[in-house]
Amino acid sequence: MNAVNLRQYWRIAAAAVLGLLLVAMFARGMGIRLNHDEQQFVAAGRMLQLHGLLPYRDFPFFHTPILVWIDGAIDSHTDYLLLAGRGLSVAFGWISLCIIFGMGLVLLRRLSPPARWGLSLAVCGLLFVNPIFAYAYFRAWNQSLPLLFMLLAIVCQWRGAATGKSGWFGLGGAALAFAIGTRISYAPLGLPFLVMIWFVPATSSTLRFRHMAVWCLGMALGTAPELIVIAHAPAAFLFDNFSYNGPVNAAFRGSSASFWPALGAKAVFLLETILHPSTLALLAAYLFVTTRMRHAASAPSYLARLILALLPFAAVGALAPTPSYTQYYCPIVALLVVGVLAGLAVNLGTGDFRLRRRSTVTVLIALAIGAPFAIYYYAPGVAMLAAPSTWEPCRMHADAMSIRSHVRSGKCLTIAPITAMEAGLDIYPPFVTGPFAWRTARFLSDNQRRDYRFVGEKQLERYLNSDPPAAVLVGYEGKLEKPFIEYAKKHAYQMADLADGKSIWLKP
């Protein structure tokens, strides 16, 4: 077999593996039950698409808004809203794997084709098998898209350092701006990205300042989509993203959100997260390959140093929200994987055979440790692929169609907006966020509720007087829905049972 045919063989094999990973990722996205965090992203996109309503100005929204534009664009082509939202997230997560794989092909280009392609797949496999990534990437929320933008920012800065072209730094700044515009917890990464431009090797001070200026210009241009939304309601943006996630969240959480209890809970959660075998193996692999780089080369590679600079700031973004959740640590896991790749590339570029062998074996062992857990995560979804009616988005759409058999138009009072909107019903803007704005409205003053479009239990009757709902959909959030049921009973709405203990109350 000649060299050309060998390269073609490895390309086909790698494409097949990446295709299988995509199938497994899609299958997992179809098999997991709806999380109420998904409600506000899908519903906000639908409200933008149907009515031109904007986050902050027209309804509460507790994240930066770029994903709303994307969801709105895709929602104009389908009524399977959850399926579309999860499909997008799966695609973004898979592209992130492909980016890491592509980086491996470039960094390991001096190796033989089997080693180059195989190790590149092995490193991107470290992300695929990790439980934090497996938990975070597929839901219709703002996790996989900012991760993708962060990886693009890393690639652009790395290529800028390698080529000396300022345009790469501008693209990197724009990519990071998009990440922050999708999830604000990526904002701390701006400082290390900017500072690390100064440490680009073999570059004059004048050129470094030029690179930094172009990066800042890219950041400024990348914030434009976000600023378009913010400009309509800057005070509401600040309230929704900072006051709501600060004082309002603290009031809702009570004593558990005060400094020391919250810090202790975060420390315990972080420890529990790290102690998973897959994550421990990844961390060990990162430490092994990076701590030995100084013995393998005169200086660590720029990419490895960039990752080292980014990690503590990613930790700040992960630890800032209260309480902690698994998905917040996904950027750290992705950075560790890229760090493993960078360290591996440096070590394999030396003449130290023992170091090269140990670095390779370390990566393969880490992958082998995570592989059994990946079977646990992905196998149930794969088993469901042949029966689309059992997929969570399709099952939920079937529920929506059963609702449509009872009521075909009008507004629906609910804190499960995706189901109502898939049924073709409209919803009330204050309830776009699902349960979140509703359950915290009592902690706001009357002026805050008015200015920031919140409706609480005491304001519900008055809010609905001029525009009563055609239906009241409940059974999703337990006690939170009690005022909705009381409203329906008071106004003689007729109850109809739905699947899984849910019900809809119809206007007489």
SS3 string, 414-461, reads CCCHHHHHHCCCEECHHHCCCHHHHHHHHHCCHHHHHHHCCCCHHHHH
Domain boundary among 358, 384, 410: 384
What value, to the nearest 5°, has the Cα angle with vertex 119 and ends 113 and 121?
Answer: 100
Sequence-distant (6+) residues with CB within 8 A of 485 are 472, 474, 505
Of 43-47, 177-181, 201-205, 315-319, give the lowest mean pLDDT range. Answer: 201-205
pLDDT at 96: 98
**Number of domains making up the chain:** 2
Q: Is residue 62 part of a domain?
A: no
Q: Is residue 177 part of a domain?
A: yes
Contact in structure between 410 and 471 (CB atoms under 8 Å): yes
Average pLDDT of the segment spanning 142-149: 98
Count CB atoms within 10 A of the CB of residue 382: 17
pLDDT at 485: 97
Q: pTM above the 0.85 mark?
A: yes
Please give the C-alpha separations between residue 402 and each of 15, 399, 405, 420, in angstroms, as whole numbers: 41, 5, 5, 11
Contact in structure between 312 and 335 (CB atoms under 8 Å): no
pLDDT at 207: 95
Same domain, yes or no: 335 and 442: no
pLDDT at 259: 76
Q: Is the pLDDT of residue 262 over 80?
A: yes
Same domain, yes or no: 340 and 401: no
Residue 350 banded pLDDT, cuts 50, 70, 90? confident
Of 6-15, 167-176, 459-468, give the lowest mean pLDDT range. Answer: 6-15
Cis peptide before 300 (omega within 30 of 0): no
Same domain, yes or no: 345 and 413: no
Domain boundary among 384, 404, 425: 384
Q: What three-state secondary structure class fits 169?
A: helix
Same domain, yes or no: 97 and 220: yes
Q: Is residue 342 part of a domain?
A: yes
Q: Is the pLDDT of residue 114 over 90?
A: no
Average pLDDT of the segment spanning 378-393: 92
Of 6-20, 95-109, 232-246, give the lowest mean pLDDT range. Answer: 6-20
Q: Is residue 318 part of a domain?
A: yes
Q: Is the pLDDT of residue 42 over 80?
A: yes
Same domain, yes or no: 352 and 418: no
Q: Is residue 195 part of a domain?
A: yes
Sequence-distant (6+) residues with CB within 8 A of 123 are 100, 101, 104, 337, 340, 341, 344, 363
pLDDT at 233: 96
Q: Which domain holds residue 24?
A: 3-31+78-241+258-384
pLDDT at 263: 87
Query: Angle, to 10 degrees, between the axis of helix 353-384 and the axis of helix 330-348?
Result: 140
Residue 296 banded pLDDT, cuts 50, 70, 90? very low
Average pLDDT of the segment spanning 353-375: 94
pLDDT at 294: 61
Q: Is residue 65 part of a domain?
A: no
Same domain, yes or no: 235 and 333: yes
Q: Is residue 250 part of a domain?
A: no
Same domain, yes or no: 171 and 22: yes
Average pLDDT of the segment spanning 268-273: 91
Residue 144 banded pLDDT, cuts 50, 70, 90? very high
Average pLDDT of the segment spanning 436-450: 96
Separation CA 237–CA 64 (nearest Å): 8
pLDDT at 299: 42
Average pLDDT of the segment spanning 294-303: 60
Domain boundary among 334, 368, 384: 384
Same domain, yes or no: 421 and 482: yes
Q: What is the pLDDT of residues 196-232, one digit of tens each?
A: 999 998 789 999 999 999 999 999 999 998 999 999 9
Residue 340 banded pLDDT, cuts 50, 70, 90? very high
Q: Is the pLDDT of residue 3 over 80?
A: no
Q: Is the pLDDT of residue 298 over 50?
A: no
Same domain, yes or no: 352 and 209: yes
Same domain, yes or no: 129 and 178: yes
pLDDT at 2: 58
Average pLDDT of the segment spanning 251-278: 88
Pairing verdict, β 426-427 and 411-413: parallel
The whole-chain average pLDDT of the chain stands at 93
DSSP secondary structure, 31-95, as one string: HSPPPGGGHHHHHHHHHHHHH---BTTTB---S-SHHHHHHHHHHTT-S-HHHHHHHHHHHHHHH
Same domain, yes or no: 401 and 277: no
Q: What three-state secondary structure class fits 276?
A: coil
Same domain, yes or no: 402 and 492: yes
Q: Is residue 71 part of a domain?
A: no
Separation CA 420–CA 426 (nearest Å): 7
